[in-house]
């Protein structure tokens, strides 16, 4: 008889995220799509004009400078820690695992609630498109319309059908492949921005000039209003940092990610400044009316004799909302993946699809939370639900931005690379974000917005309680944050 040797079972490699799948342009597309700059002229600019009048462009310029300091701090950390866990890792390795866990918890919530807010805005923009093409805009959120040319008259369906279809399509794109979803987000946002830029150019041409002396009459600019509007202006930038969550999947991430984060902040800021300036210019003496408009860009096109363009603009906003939710799901799922791999959250979230190379369990979870949250907030009314969820999400981003500006110079110092510029950038970033964070809660905003800081604090407390349990059950998780467990 021949003896048989016991052989160990072959080791099946654990599926990993797709390495170096994204180019510099595609990582930039992730951040641009997450910012969703189209939503600013379509909706958000009304708030800025209401507060700062002819100084609206200046508010966005100041906010852009502040976000550049935050972007510089993020870039400093991304060069040294090119991992999908990004903010969870950056802060955890510098300020301690517990702080990192809370930062991850905070920004995951921010991305998911952003997805909820933008999913709700889809309904607002779809109503605007319907109104622009002559179909009645439904007073209730529900919408599903069959075009008249197929011989069927328009009908409406409840949002319980519309939102699942929208979130399902976005989730499918994110689930399929990171390269596909990033390219799709970039193309969709690029198309919508191109439409906005073209219409603004036509408005300026019809106006007969690009110089508006009223917006440069410094003694008459409401500087107090400009300062008061900074908090909301910064909210328009949130998402510019999300390219860092795709570090594992980006080619030459230590170089590409800092560039993507900085370019998206600067590019979005320049877009906000220019478009806001020309919208005020195009409205002429009626510019203050933008501050009370639910459809500011439609008012602009109507004044320029381009009423038919409003439907195109809000169709572009629909495209932008798809791209933004897609980018939000991508970012949140990568953070959940990382925290699952490190044992801070359920290990199933750290699984990767063997063929798609995407964190499929985390993506399914993110899409489900987005859908449930959107439907749960509908009874508040779409516009109110959009405002409340967007403001809640902004608090999560601001907390993480503050921690990043604290962690970046400290991390540089520990690695022996702290220079004068890193120290100044960290200090200025802390001042900028600290001011915006304080302005968001004091003086207390009107009800029910005054409750949001307390709800966000409760959300953080829930995360803190969970991480205390994790530390007691698996103390090794808090030690392992120094290792690269994502690979």
Q: Which pLDDT band holds residue 134 (cuts at 50, 70, 90)? A: low
As to burial, measured by CB atoms within 10 angstroms (0-12 exposed, 13-18 middle, 19+ buried), residue 50 is: middle
What share of the chain in percent tops pLDDT 90?
26
Q: Which pLDDT band holds residue 148 (cuts at 50, 70, 90)? A: very low
Q: Which pLDDT value is given to residue 13?
A: 47
Q: Which pLDDT value is given to residue 84?
A: 65
CA distance 178 to 353: 12
In a domain, 3, yes or no: no
DSSP per-residue string spanning 439-458 = HHHSSPPSTTGGGHHHHHHH
Q: Which pLDDT band holds residue 373 (cuts at 50, 70, 90)? A: very high
Q: Which tokens sit at 101? A: 């866990």
Instruction: Compute the half-sphere exposure of residue 92: CA atoms within 13 Å on the CB side of its CA.
Output: 29
Average pLDDT over residues 451-479: 88
The answer to whether residue 155 scores a pLDDT higher than 50 is no
| Residue 468: domain span | 30-482
The answer to whether residue 10 scores a pLDDT higher than 70 is no
In a domain, 17, yes or no: no
Sequence-distant (6+) residues with CB within 8 A of 145 are 130, 135, 154, 155, 156
Q: Which pLDDT value is given to residue 227?
A: 81
In a domain, 378, yes or no: yes
Average pLDDT over residues 428-439: 87
In a domain, 20, yes or no: no
Residue 6 has φ and ψ, to the nearest 5°, of -70, 125
**β-sheet bridge partners, residue 120:** none
Q: Which of 316, 313, 58, 305 is nearest to 205 (CA)?
A: 305
DSSP letter at 133 equals T
In a domain, 22, yes or no: no
Distance spanning both ends of the chain, measured CA to CA: 45
Q: Which pLDDT value is given to residue 423?
A: 92
In a domain, 262, yes or no: yes
Model pLDDT for residues 78-89, shown as the tens digit of each residue: 888 887 667 888
Asked if 85 and 486 touch (Cβ cutoff 8 Å), the reply is yes
Q: Which of 474, 111, 60 is nearest to 229 (CA)?
A: 60
Q: Which tokens sit at 227? A: 């300062």
Q: Which of 120, 126, 25, 109 is nearest to 376 (CA)?
A: 120
Which of 80-94, 143-157, 384-398 bottoms out in mean pLDDT, i.e. has the lowest?
Answer: 143-157
CA distance 368 to 351: 17
Model pLDDT for residues 25-71, shown as the tens digit of each residue: 888 888 888 888 888 888 788 888 888 899 999 999 999 999 999 99
Q: Which residue has the higher pLDDT, 16 or 81?
A: 81
CA distance 363 to 237: 24
Q: Which of 83, 59, 176 is nearest to 484 (CA)?
A: 83
Which of 39-43, 126-130, 277-281 bottoms out in mean pLDDT, i.e. has the lowest?
Answer: 126-130
Which of 72-76, 214-218, 281-285, 438-442 bottoms out in mean pLDDT, i.e. has the lowest?
Answer: 438-442
Give the domain CATH number at 397.
1.20.1740.10
Average pLDDT over residues 315-342: 86
Q: Which pLDDT value is given to residue 6?
A: 41
Q: Which pLDDT value is given to residue 484?
A: 62
The answer to whether residue 448 scores a pLDDT higher than 60 is yes
Q: Which pLDDT value is given to residue 1?
A: 42
The answer to whether residue 130 scores a pLDDT higher than 90 is no
In a domain, 4, yes or no: no
Residue 486 has φ and ψ, to the nearest 5°, of -75, -20
Q: Which residue has the higher pLDDT, 369 or 246?
A: 369
Domain count, the chain: 1
């Amino acid at each position: 008889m021949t003896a048989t040797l016991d052989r160990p079972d072959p080791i099946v490699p654990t599926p990993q995220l797709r390495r170096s799948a994204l180019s510099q342009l595609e990582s930039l597309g992730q951040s641009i799509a997450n910012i969703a700059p189209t939503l600013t002229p379509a909706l958000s600019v009304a708030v800025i004009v209401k507060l700062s009048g002819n100084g609206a462009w200046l508010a966005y310029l100041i906010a852009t400078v502040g976000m550049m300091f935050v972007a510089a701090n993020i870039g400093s950390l991304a060069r040294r820690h090119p991992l999908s866990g990004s903010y969870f890792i950056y802060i955890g390795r510098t300020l301690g695992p517990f702080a990192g866990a809370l930062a991850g918890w905070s920004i995951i919530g921010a991305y998911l609630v952003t997805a909820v807010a933008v999913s709700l805005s889809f309904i607002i923009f779809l109503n605007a498109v319907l109104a622009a093409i002559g179909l009645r805009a439904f007073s209730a959120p529900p919408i599903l319309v069959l075009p008249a040319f197929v011989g069927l008259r328009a009908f409406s369906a409840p949002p319980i059908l519309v939102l699942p279809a929208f979130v399902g399509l976005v989730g499918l794109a994110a689930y399929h492949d990171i390269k596909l979803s990033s390219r799709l987000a970039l193309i969709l946002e690029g198309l919508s921005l191109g439409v906005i830029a073209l219409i603004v150019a036509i408005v300026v041409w019809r106006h007969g000039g690009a110089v508006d002396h009223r917006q440069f009459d410094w003694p008459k600019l409401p500087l107090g209003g400009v300062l008061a509007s900074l908090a909301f202006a910064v909210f328009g930038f949130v998402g510019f940092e999300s390219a860092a969550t795709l570090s594992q999947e980006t080619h030459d991430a230590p170089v590409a990610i800092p560039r993507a984060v900085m370019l998206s902040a600067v590019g979005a800021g320049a877009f906000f400044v220019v478009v806001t300036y020309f919208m005020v210019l195009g409205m002429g003496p009626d510019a203050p009316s933008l501050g009370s408009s639910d459809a500011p860009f439609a008012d602009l096109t109507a004044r320029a004799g381009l009423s038919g363009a409003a439907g195109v603009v809000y169709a572009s906003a629909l495209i932008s909302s798809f791209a933004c939710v897609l980018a939000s799901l991508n970012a949140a799922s990568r953070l959940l993946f990382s925290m699952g791999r490190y044992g801070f959250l359920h290990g199933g979230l750290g699984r990767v699809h063997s063929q798609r190379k995407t964190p499929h369990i985390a993506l399914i979870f993110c899409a489900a939370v987005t859908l449930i949250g959107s439907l749960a907030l509908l009874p508040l009314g779409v516009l109110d639900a959009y405002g409340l969820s967007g403001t809640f999400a902004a608090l999560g981003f601001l907390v993480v931005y503050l921690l990043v500006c604290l962690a970046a110079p400290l991390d540089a110092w520990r690695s022996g690379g702290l220079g004068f510029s890193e120290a100044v950038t960290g200090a200025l970033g802390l001042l900028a974000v600290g001011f915006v964070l304080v302005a968001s809660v004091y003086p207390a905003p009107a009800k029910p917005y005054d409750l949001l800081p307390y709800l966000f604090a409760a959300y953080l407390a829930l995360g803190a309680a969970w991480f205390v349990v994790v530390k007691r059950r698996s103390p090794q998780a808090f030690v392992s944050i120094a290792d690269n467990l994502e690979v």
